């Protein structure tokens, strides 16, 4: 069928998709025809990349080209089993189908096919179960692989997308000038080639065009947001002396901290709202900078608020700010979801009347009931845990207040300037004096008993330890991995040591309770998944054991290591891995030789290439369908130039000429503002 408006036409109007299939597609976020054609493949099977039966790697997906030499009698039990024997001259392989007679019947004795699946079997005969099959003459084919849900197959998805593309022309979204200057395919050609590439070259051209468009829209959105923030602030402040704050601290601030405070104060005394990222390594002293700025706002008669992603982290910030600032006459309150109704009412009353100078809390701060008297400064901790919309909701509590985002994830500066296109950046690149570097070691699993005795020794001396468990095998939940590890510890010398369990499947209230017990010293050991990566300060924790360290990126290992070494005792991080690969060895060696988070981040980019540098959430940025902020750095730079050119003439994308671009920006950022 011909489709006039693919963005508003329900996917069920595509040939072959009925109501039942449409509901399955809805589970993947596919509601319209446009959603369907922009559901890009997550990868491809290259049927030209074949291996022989003899060389097919055990338990590994591969393509084998072989001739059918016979069919065995079907077996009919609880399930029907159909088997065919194939050979390529180097060996025989048994191809097995379960309850799928259609695939079995397709195979003709004497004909040659390509089989894609996981090679198994034994030394006598190889085996492949339920493979994807194409005729040998189509061996140059690239077969797309999609994210699916139960009831859908890759073949179904290909058919539906082919039907949606057939006979329809989708509106071009980029100008002829931009496409010509950047050597880009047209949108329709790119759609066809990304789903049905005839060659690797076609795929690369299509991916480049679609990646460029997505990153171009991202750049336009971030940079136009920055332009919008160049309006006048309702919280303009005057220069005030911070000497009382500096003199009251029991330590001297680093040069980097003083520089960051100076940059922020300069912004806060300007006519436009500050919109700055404070990027600092684990333990570099971001909270002391935040406290200085809260004090500066207080001296100007304005309130500040600090939002943290969890209640326990909010409580930690409340304690620190209170210790720093209450001796100077500043009142700091804590507002979280677990407070009683009476407590919330009292605290909100103090905030509304201006009796509270600083409000620290969780998302309770952005609820409608929370009203500020004169909000001048908004601080959000751990930017990647908050979307743009949540930050905006907090800023809406004041009249264009100043905003500071704090992040402990080191990012190479050139990359940071692109990613945080709507923020200015201050960097804490010095560590406070007297902090001992964490000693880091790499060992294999044969050291487990020694490690447990190491943990026991520290527990007996009153100290605490973390043991981090990753997802050890695909399909196993993080809860299962951590639970199994805890059960194993009960059989070791640690069986009498109070041990807590923390994982991402737990309710937030339960996670907070476990962390409270660990922070108070009730638990001597905490078995956890990576949910402890961000934030809570437990100075008494001096040992960090990370199992299967090869499964983590360098930056993530560094974040985990930062949970220890926060007190005066020498701390230790032990990376456990049985991997012998050069790649793993290079990463472990990097962790051992340096504790500089920025150096580690750069190395991580080099070693990984690093598609997973930010994790799945990509730091609160809008979700991207095909682009990767890290691996597509060259295209990112091209889109920056193109976006700057467009915004130079139309900073707000307000002209009719840029209406389509404005609509695309609004669409891309819509999820950010839905929180």
| CATH 3.40.1390.30 matches 439-594 | no
Kind plus residue range of the DSSP H or E element containing 93:
strand 92-98
Identify the pLDDT of residue 605. Answer: 65
Backbone angles phi, psi at 360, to 5 degrees: -105, 140
Q: Do domains 55-139 and 244-428 have the same CATH topology?
A: no
> Residue 592: pLDDT above 80?
yes
Please check whether residue 512 is in contact with residue 432, taking contact to mean a CB–CB distance below 8 angstroms: no
The interaxial angle of helices 286-299 and 311-325, nearest 10 deg, is 60
Pairwise CA distance, residues 238 & 261, whole Å:
15
Pairwise CA distance, residues 640 & 414, whole Å:
12
**What is the mean predicted confidence (pLDDT) over 83-89?**
95
3-state secondary structure at position 46: strand
Q: Which fold has domain 1-48+141-168?
A: DNA polymerase; domain 1 (1.10.150)
Kind plus residue range of the DSSP H or E element containing 304:
strand 303-307
The interaxial angle of helices 508-520 and 311-325, nearest 10 deg, is 50
Extended beta strands in 372-510, E state: 375-381, 402-407, 424-428, 439-443, 464-468, 499-502
- pLDDT tens per residue across span 88-112: 999 999 999 998 888 899 899 999 9
* Single pTM value for the model: 0.62
Superfamily for the 55-139 domain: Nucleic acid-binding proteins (2.40.50.140)
567 or 353, which is more confident: 353
Break the chain into its structural domains and give their ranges.
Answer: 1-48+141-168, 55-139, 244-428, 439-594
The strand pairing partners of 143, in sequence order, are 45
Backbone angles phi, psi at 155, to 5 degrees: -65, -45
- pLDDT tens per residue across span 454-471: 999 999 999 999 999 875
Please check whether residue 655 is in contact with residue 367, taking contact to mean a CB–CB distance below 8 angstroms: no
Please check whether residue 118 is in contact with residue 61, taking contact to mean a CB–CB distance below 8 angstroms: yes
Please check whether residue 84 is in contact with residue 68, taking contact to mean a CB–CB distance below 8 angstroms: yes
Pairwise CA distance, residues 356 & 350, whole Å:
5
**C-alpha angle with apex 63: 57 to 67, nearest 5 degrees?**
110
Pairwise CA distance, residues 534 & 310, whole Å:
10
Please check whether residue 355 is in contact with residue 331, taking contact to mean a CB–CB distance below 8 angstroms: yes
Extended beta strands in 519-671, E state: 525-528, 541-546, 572-576
The most confident of the ranges 230-239, 380-389, 490-499 is 490-499
Q: Which candidate, 302, 394, 396, places its Cα nearest to that of 356?
A: 302
| Average pLDDT of the chain to the nearest whole number | 86
Pairwise CA distance, residues 237 & 265, whole Å:
9
- What are the DSSP calls for 224-247, one per residue? HHHHHTTS--S--------HHHHH
Q: Which candidate, 414, 412, 494, places its Cα nearest to that of 452?
A: 494
Q: Which candidate, 570, 576, 538, places its Cα nearest to that of 458?
A: 570
Q: Which candidate, 98, 99, 95, 100, places its Cα nearest to that of 83?
A: 95
Tell me the pLDDT band of 303, cut-offs 50, 70 and 90: very high
Pairwise CA distance, residues 485 & 457, whole Å:
20
Backbone angles phi, psi at 317, to 5 degrees: -65, -40
Write out the two tokens for 501. 């369990």
- pLDDT tens per residue across span 391-409: 666 667 778 889 898 887 7
Q: 619: which DSSP letter?
A: G
Tell me the pLDDT band of 614, cut-offs 50, 70 and 90: very low
Task: Pinpoint the alpha helices (H) of 465-610.
Answer: 478-489, 508-520, 554-561, 582-593, 597-608
Q: What is the 3-state secondary structure (H, E, C) of 120-145?
A: EECCCCEEEECCEEEEHHHCCCEEEE
Please give the share of the chain, as a percent, with pLDDT higher than 90.
48
> Residue 616: pLDDT above 80?
no
Identify the pLDDT of residue 497. Answer: 93
Q: 629: which DSSP letter?
A: T
> Residue 414: pLDDT above 60?
no
Query: From the DSSP assignment, how many helices (H) and strands (E) are in the chain?
Result: 22, 23
Tell me the pLDDT band of 476, cut-offs 50, 70 and 90: very low
Identify the pLDDT of residue 673. Answer: 45
Q: How many angstroms separate the first and last alpha carbons of the chain?
A: 37
Pairwise CA distance, residues 347 & 353, whole Å:
10
Write out the two tokens for 424. 């200015």
> Residue 54: pLDDT above 60?
yes
Which CATH architecture fits 244-428?
A: 3-Layer(aba) Sandwich (3.40)
**What is the mean predicted confidence (pLDDT) over 488-496?**
88
């Amino acid at each position: 069928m011909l489709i006039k408006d693919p963005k508003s036409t329900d996917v069920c109007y595509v040939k072959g998709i009925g109501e039942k299939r449409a509901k399955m597609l809805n589970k993947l976020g596919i509601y319209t025809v446009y959603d369907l054609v922009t559901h890009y493949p997550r990868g491809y099977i290259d049927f030209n990349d074949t291996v022989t039966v003899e060389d097919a790697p055990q338990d590994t997906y591969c393509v084998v080209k072989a001739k059918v030499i016979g069919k065995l009698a079907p077996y009919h039990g609880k399930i029907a089993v159909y088997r065919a024997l194939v050979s390529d001259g180097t060996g025989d392989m048994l191809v097995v189908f379960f309850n799928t007679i259609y695939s079995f019947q397709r195979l003709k004795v004497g004909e040659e096919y390509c089989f894609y699946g996981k090679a198994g079997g034994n030394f006598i005969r190889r085996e492949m179960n339920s493979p994807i099959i194409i005729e040998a003459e189509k061996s140059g084919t690239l077969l797309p692989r999609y994210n699916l849900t139960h009831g859908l197959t890759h073949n179904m998805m290909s058919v539906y997308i082919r039907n949606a593309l057939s006979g329809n022309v989708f509106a071009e979204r980029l100008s002829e000038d931009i496409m010509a200057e950047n050597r880009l395919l047209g949108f329709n050609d790119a759609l066809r080639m990304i789903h049905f590439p005839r060659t690797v070259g076609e795929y690369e051209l299509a991916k480049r065009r679609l990646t460029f468009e997505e990153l171009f829209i991202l750049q336009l959105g971030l940079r136009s947001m920055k332009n919008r923030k160049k309006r006048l602030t309702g919280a303009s402040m005057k220069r005030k002396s911070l000497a009382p704050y500096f003199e009251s601290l029991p330590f001297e601030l680093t040069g980097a901290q003083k520089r960051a405070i100076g940059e922020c104060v300069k912004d806060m005394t300007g006519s436009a709202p500050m919109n700055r990222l404070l990027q600092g390594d684990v333990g570099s002293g971001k909270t002391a900078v935040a406290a200085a700025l809260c004090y500066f706002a207080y001296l100007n008669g304005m309130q500040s608020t600090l939002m943290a992603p969890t209640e326990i982290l909010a409580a930690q910030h409340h304690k620190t700010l209170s210790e720093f600032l209450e001796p100077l006459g500043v009142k700091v309150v804590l507002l979280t979801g677990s407070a009683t109704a009476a407590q919330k009412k009292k605290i909100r009353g103090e905030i509304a009347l201006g009796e509270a100078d600083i409000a620290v809390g969780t998302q309770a701060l952005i609820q409608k009931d929370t009203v500020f008297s004169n909000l001048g400064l908004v601080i959000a901790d751990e930017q990647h845990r908050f979307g743009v919309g949540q930050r905006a909701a907090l800023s809406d509590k004041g009249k264009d207040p100043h905003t500071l985002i704090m992040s402990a994830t080191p990012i190479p500066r050139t990359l940071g300037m692109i990613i945080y296109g709507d923020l200015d950046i201050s960097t804490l690149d010095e560590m406070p004096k007297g902090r001992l570097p964490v000693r880091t070691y790499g060992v294999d699993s044969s050291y487990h008993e020694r490690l447990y005795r190491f943990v026991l020794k520290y527990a007996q001396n009153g100290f605490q330890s973390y043991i981090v468990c990753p997802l050890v095998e695909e399909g196993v939940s993080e809860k299962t991995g951590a639970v199994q590890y805890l059960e194993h510890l009960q059989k070791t010398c640690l069986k009498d040591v109070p041990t807590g369990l923390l994982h991402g499947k737990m309710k937030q209230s339960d996670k907070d309770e476990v962390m409270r017990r660990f922070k108070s010293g009730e638990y001597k050991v905490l078995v956890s998944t990576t949910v402890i990566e961000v934030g809570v300060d437990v100075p008494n924790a001096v040992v960090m054991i990370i199992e299967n360290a090869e499964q983590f990126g360098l930056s993530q290992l560094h974040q985990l290591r930062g949970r220890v070494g926060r007190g005066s005792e020498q701390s230790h991080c032990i990376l456990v891995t049985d991997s012998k690969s050069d790649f793993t060895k290079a990463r472990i060696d990097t962790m051992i030789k340096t504790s500089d988070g920025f150096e580690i981040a750069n190395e991580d980019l080099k070693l990984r290439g690093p598609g997973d540098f930010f994790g799945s959430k990509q730091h609160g940025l809008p979700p991207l369908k095909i682009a990767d902020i890290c691996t597509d750095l060259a295209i990112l730079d091209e889109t920056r130039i193109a976006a700057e050119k467009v915004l130079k003439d139309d900073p707000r994308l307000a002209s009719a000429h840029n209406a389509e671009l404005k609509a695309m920006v609004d669409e891309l950022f819509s999820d950010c503002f839905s929180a």
